[in-house]
Amino acid sequence: MKCIGCQLANKVIDANIIYENGLVTSILDIAPLNEGHILILPKKHYHDVDDLDESTANEIMKTSAMLARVLKKQFQPDGVTIIQNGGKFNDLTHYHMHVFPRYVSDGFAWVEPLDSTNAKVINQQL
């Protein structure tokens, strides 16, 4: 088992486990954007969101909602961000979803593109 995500999800590598069931393991991120930053990793290896089977995808979403409720109660943030990076932006090369508390002045930012042409192209393909 060479994949670090598989090793984390299946407890081959020690991690701070927050929640676990038969399909997913949720751990604290080792480089958190904010305190309480959690990763949800499927126990089976997947690379991208479109690789996930339906049961695992549903479990990840159920887990993200549960963890968001816990983070809101524990940290009283201004909001919660749930995000997943795919392709070359998937630094683990194992599907994982980030769930973390957000604060107005935390410095995390989403940068909007200057040109919305891509949105028009995508809409045409749907």
In degrees and rounded to multiples of 5, residue 118 shows phi and psi of -60, -40
Strands (E), 53-126: 79-84, 97-102
Q: Of 117, 17, 106, which Cα lies nearest the Cα of 63?
A: 17
Spatial contact of 34 and 102, defined as CB atoms under 8 Å apart? yes
Q: Of 70, 51, 54, 71, which Cα lies nearest the Cα of 5?
A: 51
Inform me whether the pLDDT recorded for 14 exceeds 60: yes
Residue 110: its pLDDT value, please? 81
Cα angle 16-21-24, degrees, rounded to a multiple of 5: 70
Mean pLDDT of the chain: 92
Kindly list the domain boundaries of the chain, sorted by start residue. Answer: 4-125
pTM for the structure as a whole: 0.88
Can you read off the two tokens belonging to residue 123? 């809409």
Residue 83 to residue 60: CA distance in whole angstroms: 12
3-state secondary structure of 40: strand
Residue 121: its pLDDT value, please? 56
- pLDDT tens for each residue of 67-118: 999 999 999 999 999 999 999 999 899 999 999 999 999 999 887 776 666 6
Of 36-45, 51-60, 87-96, the range with the lowest mean pLDDT is: 87-96
Residue 27: its pLDDT value, please? 98
Q: What CATH code would you report for 4-125?
A: 3.30.428.10
